[in-house]
Amino acid sequence: MPQTSRRAEHWARTRSLMIITLVIWFIFSFVVHWFADALNAFTFMGFPLGFYMAAQGSEIIFVVLIVWFAWSQHRIDTDTGFAEEE
């Protein structure tokens, strides 16, 4: 594959990954907490759900999300031949 189209593919996939990551980020940063009051009617692990999401749930999701993001981005880099030599 020529350099320019590899580059285009790399960037297209990188951009999609960024968008997916930020959509998940948006949901757990804003949407969930906007409805915290309604979520408090439910119980999760003994917690009111709205409180749980702010105190612990969103934070766990963020950690997992970044790990997944770093892993996926590295796969994009190796697939398209732009990974660093190590």
Instruction: Output 45-48 pairs: Cβ under 8 A, ≥24 positions apart.
Output: none
Length of the chain: 86
Q: Does 86 bind another protein (CB under 8 A)?
A: yes
Span 8-47, contacts to another protein by CB under 8 A: 10-11, 14, 17-18, 21-22, 25, 28-30, 33-37, 40, 43-47
Name the burial class of residue 17, with classes exposed (0-12), middle (13-18) and buried (19+) by CB atoms within 10 angstroms of its CB. Answer: middle
Q: Does 63 bind another protein (CB under 8 A)?
A: yes
Distance in angstroms (rounded) separating the CA atoms of residues 82 and 32? 36
Binding site for another protein (CB under 8 A): 7, 10-11, 14, 17-18, 21-22, 25, 28-30, 33-37, 40, 43-48, 50-52, 54-56, 58-60, 62-63, 65-67, 69-70, 73-74, 77, 81-86
